[in-house]
A and B are shown apart, each in its own frame.
Chain A
Amino acid sequence: MKSMEVARLTDEAELKQFMTGLLERSPAQQTEVMVTEWDSALTRFANNGIHQNVAERNVSVRVRVVKDGKTGVASINQLNESAATDVLKRAVAIADLQPKSDVVPMPGPAPARAVDAWSDATAVATPEERADFVATVCMKAAAAGLKAFGAFSTSAGQFAIANSLGVFHHQRSTQATVNSVVMGEAGSGYADRGAIDVRELDKDELAAEVIEKAQRNQNAQPVEPGVYEVVLEEYAVAEMLEFMSFMGFSALAAQEERSFMRLGEKITGEEITIWDDGLDRTGLPAAFDFEGVPKQRVDLITGGVASGLVYDMATATRAGRQSTGHGLPAPNTEGPFAVNLFMKPGTQAKAELASGIKRGIWVTRFWYVRIVHPKASIITGMTREGTFLIEDGRITRPVKDLRFTQSILEALQGTEALSRSTKLEIGEFIGASRVPAVRLKAFTFTS
């Protein structure tokens, strides 16, 4: 039975032949073809039982052509000769039908360092294995008089990009993620895990964390909104970092004067160092970007000083420099995106971060975060599934979830401590962040 579930992906040589053939047939001066293929499954549970359980096999073939100074992009989700002909024809037709515009240059060939992002164990994960994992979490929750909810997914895929200037890059990757909310009559807890290798996801450890958090978070009482000293767990820190990336780390945001980054200036506390590194296997590695440029490490904030931005081909050309390998698929008007983020850890044990806080708030995670003012790095959102009052250096009781409205830079200017341990948080759509928990001097809760 198990062999039936091996992820069905096209052989790399066959894929290369398909892409090369498409490039050779193109009548355009420059052509790029990008293939993403994936086989994924997800088991979802609620009220201590599986209620949704799905799997899909899919592929995307995306073609960009540059013809007579005009660009056309088309895609199709079929991997065969007639699909290749169709998608190429449509891309060329689009180029032919438009006026001349600025052309985003394609990169030439450059070696990309191989990264190891594959696990056979993840690629062959079965529905029964996912069900067994879920069963453990549900049984432990039920034994504690609680209800478990969540999702466990495994996926395997490959991504390849080639262009008529000689670029060909290929990478296979796997991913396993699980998240869980456990609820009691009067409160809930949260935990999640993500890894390349499904065997790194420990069901007992996950269940223990989420159940313990749910048990502590019962019968929360309100506290007055206001400015509090806070400890943010890794879940909350990763979300904050994602929003920093979205609002400020892109060269396009800086070129368009929308970014909070002021290069060379101190913008956070000196304890804060943030970088992007697609080649680090402790994150979710990717050797090259969606334009076929090898990934470079970029130091974004170093010792509190804004130190760098990520570039794609368009922004790099405008700035007269090299792309850092952070391009998104064409056609892209959103600019480059830092998706392999790291925050430097500190020296304290996570459990000790509350010590010394006279009266503060411990936040497990954020929810529904949205940008209020990008240049001032102000976001709003709610706390969720584990908000606690800290009194005289220790957590004393759960409190009702709070809304915050806060400038991220101002909050990080008051960084007091970071945990020495870090956690990998895999993003919902793209990328991942490895971050510590942090203690901040002032954080504004508005309701």
Chain B
Amino acid sequence: MPLRRATLSAAVESFSLVGMKDLAEAALNAAQVKGASYADVRLDHHVTQDIVVKNGQLAAVSDDASEGFGVRVIVDGAWGFAGSARLDKTEIEPVVDRAIRIARASARVRSARLDLGPPVTSRGRYRTPLERDPFAVPLSEKVDLLLRADAAMGSVKGVTIREGSMEFIRQTKIFASTEGAFTEQELYEAGAGLEATATSPDDVQNRSYPNSFGRHQGSGGYEYITAMELDRHAGRIAEEAVALLSAPQCPSGVKTLILDASQTALQIHESCGHPTELDRVFGMEAAYAGTSFMTPEKLNHLQYGSPKVTITADALTPTGLGTFGWDDEGVPAQRTFLIKDGLFVGYLTSRETASVLGQESNGTMRADGWNRIPLIRMTNVNLEPGDSSLERMIAETRDGVYMETNRSWSIDDKRLNFQFGTQLAYEIVDGKRGRMLKNATYAGITPEFWNSCDAVAGRQEWTVWGLANCGKGQPPQVAHVAHGAAPARFQHVKVGILK
């Protein structure tokens, strides 16, 4: 039965910027009057639409809205923060009072006085470039696409679980500070993904498209979904999931490893993105996410990778989940080098941490909502394209394994010792792709691994991969970040680790 054309826009329309500026100014004034030497306020409204189709049925459609404001203050040289879901003037005073009182409590157990460096006075508006507003696309169109893809997966004998999902987000936020910054942003995300699972009495194998972690997500509109061509790839991943059940186990050994672009993206995330977060380096995440082996004395000295490896943090990358106008301290989006020709040259920084190194923030502070403080988060941490290609890398390899699409990931608290697994792998023998392999894993030590990188594919195979599940902080926050990556090759890697 055809679905009626209609949209789900009620929640989208409920938040208006009108009046929000007054609330922001009232909060900043109150904070200053009550003794804050610095204050900022974020007013934020999120709308999220999630759709899940499972085994031929529409399993879930939800439409979630959240709004509120958070006030961050410095009093007596220490931080305080309080937030409330009630966006009205009567709530300003108690929330500011709470933030001030919390800051005074912080000052009782202070280790060092805060320094934010030069003032930030950004002003302006930013809106995610998009062709088609995802909230204006009829639900029927979205569900139809997922059902078509589901049917394609279902036509493959042996597939036991099929799932497809979409997610759309619109975030409207205002940032204002006592230094004079005032920015308005309207950010859009669109994401979708498919997963096919095949089971036997003692095995379970799955394949997903375009990426794992539920979805492939980017900043933009519905055109991002259309470009995925979900229904065209659905049958292929279903066939691969079934074939994996009878595929041989990935052999154990030390081999040449070629990663597809999406797994390369996760490798960048875990072994370069996180260890270059300067708050981790300074111990600010030590009791939770951990610290970093990339300590300040290694800056401009550590040969992190081979000369083939150049990694940037670029908040200007089109379609990246880390693409915006300003970060949540009002610092403009920018592009900066972390690794240049293999040399470790830069960190992801905030105003507070950059000033410790005598630098200015490179604009990476983001909060996952009005009720959280901003933390240093990856923007779009990209491995710059090389001059090879997947085809050439395979042709040049005598004894290797090609691995595609992440299945498991684990790395130690300093970001050195890692082990990843992928959904799919193929052996490479004498320059040719051989048998399909299952349960493929590889492990290594970060600088050894990146120094073994001898080829990166070029721009034509370079894709921006969104990761919408990056956890950090206490209370926990989830950031949406991205990584531009192409297939890459690594030598002498331990593969096939499975008890």
Contact = CB atoms under 8 A, between A and B. Distances in A.
Interface of A: 1, 4, 40-59, 71-78, 86-87, 89-91, 93-94, 96-99, 101-102, 126-128, 130-132, 134-135, 138, 147, 149-151, 153, 179-181, 183, 188, 256-258, 330-333, 367-376, 378, 380-382, 384, 401, 403, 405-407, 410, 428-429, 444, 446-447
Interface in B463-493: 474-476
A194 to B, nearest CB: 13
A136 B111 CA distance: 14
B421 A372 contact: yes
B336 interface: no
**Counting chain B CB atoms within 10 Å of each CB, which of A54, A96, A373 scores highest?**
A54
Given A44-B474, A46-B284, A53 B105 contact: yes
Given A149-B286, A333-B54, A93 B474 contact: no
B63 A45 contact: no
B460 to A, nearest CB: 32
B283 A58 contact: no
A102 B197 CA distance: 21
Contacts of A89: 10
Contact of B412 (A51, A127, A151, A368): A368
Top 6 A-B residue pairs of the complex, sorted by shortest distance between their CB atoms: A49-B111, A331-B60, A127-B105, A149-B287, A149-B286, A257-B199
Given A257-B160, A257-B204, A369-B410, A131 B52 contact: no
A406 B85 contact: no
Give the interface size class of chain B.
Answer: 35 or more
Contacts of A58: 68, 83-85, 371
Interface in B116-165: 138-140, 143, 160-161, 163
Contact of B287 (A46, A59, A128): A46
Given A54-B82, A332-B60, A48 B111 contact: yes
B186 to A, nearest CB: 19
A51 B79 CA distance: 7
A90 B63 contact: yes
A179 B59 CA distance: 38
Given A51-B111, A86-B14, A447-B443, A151 B1 contact: no
A81 B466 CA distance: 38
A409 to B, nearest CB: 11
Given A97-B140, A131-B106, A380-B419, A102 B57 contact: yes
B105 A78 contact: no
A258 B413 contact: no
Interface string B234-246: 0000000000000
Contacts of A87: 65
Contacts of B371: 56, 58
A369 B97 CA distance: 40
Given A102-B59, A333-B59, A372-B498, 12 more contacts: A49-B109, A49-B111, A51-B284, A56-B82, A73-B63, A98-B143, A127-B80, A258-B197, A370-B410, A372-B441, A401-B417, A406-B499
Contacts of B78: 50, 53
B422 to A, nearest CB: 11
B408 A52 contact: no
Contacts of B421: 372, 380
A46 B108 CA distance: 14
Contacts of B372: 54
Contact of A46 (B63, B160, B282): B282
A97 B58 contact: no
Interface in B11-67: 11, 14, 50, 52, 54, 57-67
Contact of B286 (A46, A52, A57, A71): A46
Contacts of B52: 331, 333
Contact of B199 (A93, A256, A403, A410): A256
23 contacts: A1-B101, A44-B474, A50-B79, A52-B284, A54-B475, A56-B70, A58-B68, A75-B63, A77-B68, A87-B65, A94-B8, A96-B4, A127-B80, A135-B109, A183-B286, A330-B62, A333-B52, A368-B411, A373-B204, A373-B439, A382-B413, A405-B497, A405-B498
B426 interface: no
B3 A446 contact: no
B59 A378 contact: no
A382 B10 contact: no
Contacts of B202: 375-376
A364 to B, nearest CB: 13
Nearest to A177: B474
Contacts of A42: 474-475
B283 A147 contact: yes
Contact of B474 (A135, A151, A331): A151
A97 B3 contact: yes
Contact of B204 (A44, A45, A374): A374
B247 to A, nearest CB: 14
A127 B101 contact: yes
A99 B10 contact: no
B97 A4 contact: yes
B105 A47 contact: no
Contacts of B282: 46-47
A147 to B, nearest CB: 7
Contact of A331 (B1, B61, B97, B201): B61
A188 B408 CA distance: 27
Given A53-B80, A256-B197, A407 B499 contact: yes
A55 B85 contact: no
Nearest to A64: B62
Given A53-B106, A101-B59, A77 B98 contact: no
B154 to A, nearest CB: 15
Contacts of B286: 46, 149, 181, 183, 188
A355 B202 CA distance: 37
A205 to B, nearest CB: 18
Nearest to B53: A101
Nearest to B475: A42
B63 A94 contact: yes
Contacts of B81: 52-55
Contacts of A55: 81-83, 98-99, 102
B139 A75 contact: no
Contacts of B83: 54-58
